[in-house]
Amino acid sequence: MTDQVIVTENLVKIHYSHFLRRPSRALQGVSFSIARGEAFGLLGPNGAGKTTTQKLLLGLLKPTEGTVCVLGHPAGDPRALDKVGFLPENPYFYSYLTAHEFLDFFGRLFNLSAAQRKERANELLKMVSLSDAGSKPIRKFSKGMLQRLGIAQALMNDPDVLFLDEPNTGLDPIGRRDIRNIIKGLKQQGKTIFLNSHLLPDVNELCDRIMILHRGRCAAEARVQDIATSGNYRDLEEYFMDAVARAEQEYNEQQATAAAATPAKV
């Protein structure tokens, strides 16, 4: 079995507006690979292409060009999805269900037996510190409790690869700490983690390697432990800001060159 569980090559994604069908390049030739057991952080300003990339990896979108392989299969292949967990940025919860009922529903989607669903739900609720809230309606959950429950549902099938889209957004410091500790525990279990986040301190603490996107292109890629120790940057935030600034300058120069080469309309 290959050590590279996620491999993308020259990913291009073009969206078309509903009005006039004008093309917009969300991704432009992005390539990367993620090793088994690695925590990989995808960073970038709003609109850089992070969510588009994650949707391509999950098979929720199809690439315009390029290839995506997850666990040895094309993205979206049922054989890959069976071993994948996903927590979207804005998950939807059936508020009338209890936490136990909610997890039982997801266990049914993976064809777990009744005994397996009960055992797995109890195990996960304990892991995310929600054992005492298992019989509580989800509508009474706080934001932090919902995020912990969301991680529990993403783990119901004991996945090899876990996709997390902004798991700490909107949480207070205690909630962020709890989620970080859960993710650290998953890393210790050998899970491969793909993390989208704007919270650079959390990424710095959790991820082994990061990639920064800017306008659909890779602006930088590095191992987290090398960013500060190399002596060129104080921390991940400085590295991020410098990479985005350089990419924006390059983009502006390319736009200016293209505009100068375009014949003026008479």
Higher pLDDT, 17 or 134: 134
CATH number of 4-94+159-251: 3.40.50.300
Looking at every residue in the chain, the average pLDDT score rounds to: 90
At a CB cut-off of 8 Å and minimum separation 6, what does 153 contact?
87, 91, 102, 103, 106
Q: What are the residue ranges spanned by the domains of the chain? A: 4-94+159-251
**84-87 and 4-16 as β-strands: parallel, antiparallel, unpaired?**
unpaired
Interval 174-214: pLDDT, tens: 888 888 998 999 999 999 999 998 889 999 999 999 999 99
| Tens digits of residue pLDDT in 118-163 | 999 999 999 998 999 999 999 999 888 998 999 999 999 999 999 9
The predicted pLDDT at position 264 comes to 63
| H or E element that contains 99 | helix 99-109
pLDDT for 20 equals 66
- This prediction's pTM: 0.89
DSSP state at residue 98:
B
The pLDDT assigned to 98 comes to 96
